[in-house]
Amino acid sequence: MDWTSHHMEVIPVSGTLKMHEIAMKMEREDKKVYHFEVGQPDFSTPQNIIDAAIKAMNEGKTRYVSSRGVPELLDAIQYMYEKRNIEVNGKTNVIVTPGAKMSLFGGILSTIDSGDDVLLLSPAWPTYKTMIRMAGGKPVDVPTSPGYVLDEEDLKDKVGREVSAIVINSPNNPTGGVLTKDHLKLIYDLAIDHKFMVFSDEIYESLVYDGFTQNSMLEVDPEMEVTLCISGFSKNYAMTGWRIGYAVGSPSVINNLVRVQQNTTSCAASFVQYAGVEAIMGDQSSIDMMRNAYQERRDMTQSLFSEIADIECLNPMGAFYVFPDFSNYGLSSSTLAELLLKKTGVSTVPGIEFGHHYDDHLRFSYAASPNDIEEGIPAMGKFLETLR
């Protein structure tokens, strides 16, 4: 018997799984694998955050809580935006979910109708496409210029057709590019004129480098007329396994997400939410340390790439990824990724995962260990010489 439902037709097997399986097999055979594929910090969660979770558990904060989130965390999120001069009411504009992923899914599920076109500013994190399809929508790529630079004319052209939403992600996974405030404003103006929602995934918001600051979509849409802003703790605070994120939007959009949450996960784990309060309100020195470390790793990655001929690799402004262009090698991204893994141990994500325009790119996460960066990239460079 095959128990697979029709819903599964839109849920792909992760394209990185094949790579992951090869990598695991190599490691079982004691072969060195350089892990550039994983999009998660290699730091542990700061101790003060761990202690706050343990304290909350010891205090009995282990029960169901409100589907919106615990008041202390909703207040802390309000405070965090206030510090950036963004007015958010924790009681009505915020929901806390198990990971940013659930905020996104709730937002998409409660907004998109079957058959709706949803624009995806690409390259785009593969999960968006799957979620849009799970909600019955049709993802439509809006490719950007290298470095995630908005192509204004293409976007204007695409909103000419009926669309119900756009998904943007700045700082961007996989390019590390950051949208300018002018481009955010343009997206807002188009959304108002053409009546579509903007899902703004800002999960990498505090990982920007060179003294640069990221602009939130909430700065150009302070009334939250069209914006659902999504963020979380996974990347900024090295809390990927804790599963905690949040969404900020108008009361009516947030109420819809609350309904989705009430009927699915109920709430984000209660003691994890108190850890989230500590993450925002507590000592920030380990957060600054991690950001500085990523900046150093980005610089190291960039300089090692510049020594490899025939690869174009832009300097990312944020997040912790580079997305170099390997088109000079004339191989598909899956073929190249598999070859690099088998021949050099360098494990990456094929560009095709981020949109069909990107089959000559590979994504590297420099949240990898400095040792992997220092050894892995030159090893790859040496092997690439044999392909030229």
Ligand X SMILES: Cc1ncc(COP(=O)(O)O)c(C=O)c1O
Binding region for ligand X (CB under 6 A): 39, 99-101, 125, 169, 173, 201, 203, 232, 234, 240, 245
Distance CA 144, CA 92 (A): 34
- Pairwise CA distance, residues 95 & 225, whole Å: 17
The answer to whether 151 and 142 are in contact (CB under 8 A) is yes
d(CA 353, CA 282) in angstroms, rounded, equals 37
Shortest distance in whole angstroms from residue 373 CB to ligand X: 19
Residue closer to ligand X by CB (options 129, 304) is 129
Q: Residue 382 Cβ, how far from ligand X at the closest point, in Å?
A: 30
The least CB distance from residue 39 to ligand X, in Å, is 4
Q: Nearest approach, Cβ of 99 to ligand X (angstroms)?
A: 3
- CB nearer to ligand X: pick between 239 and 258: 239
In the complex, minimum distance from the CB of residue 128 to ligand X, in angstroms, rounded to a whole number: 8
Q: CA–CA distance from 204 to each of 169, 235, 279, 291, 317 (Å)?
A: 9, 6, 15, 11, 11
| C-alpha closest to that of 131 among 99, 162, 157 | 99
Tally the residues of the chain. 388
Residue closer to ligand X (CB basis): 169 or 206: 169
Task: Output the six-digit token pair for 232.
Answer: 């979380």
In the three-class reduction of DSSP (H, G, I as helix; E, B as strand; rest coil), residue 79 is classed as helix
DSSP type of residue 174: T
CB-closest chain residue to ligand X: 99
Cβ proximity to ligand X, 78 vs 234, nearer residue: 234
Integer Cα distance of 54 and 31 in angstroms: 38
How far is the C-alpha of 317 from the C-alpha of 326, rounded, in Å?
A: 20
* Residue 364: burial class (beta carbons within 10 Å; 0-12, 13-18, 19+): buried
Q: Tell the smallest beta-carbon distance from residue 178 to ligand X (Å).
A: 13
Asked if 35 contacts 347 with a C-beta cutoff of 8 angstroms, the reply is: yes
C-beta closer to ligand X: residue 240 or 327 = 240
Shortest Å distance, C-beta 125 to ligand X: 4
Measured from the CB of residue 232, what is the shortest distance to ligand X in angstroms? 3
**3-state DSSP percent of the chain in helix, strand and coil, to 5:** 45, 15, 40
Interacting residues of 210 by C-beta distance below 8 A, sequence separation 6+: 295, 317
At 311, list the tokens.
Answer: 């690869």
Indicate the residue among 254 and 304 with the shorter CB distance to ligand X: 254
* Nearer CB in complex with ligand X: 35/384: 35
Nearer to ligand X, 81 or 384 (CB): 81
Question: 173 or 216, CB closer to ligand X?
Answer: 173
What span, in angstroms and rounded, lies between the C-alpha atoms of 180 and 214? 8
**Neighbour count for residue 120 (Cβ, 10 Å):** 23
- In whole angstroms, the minimum distance from the beta carbon of 115 to ligand X comes to 25
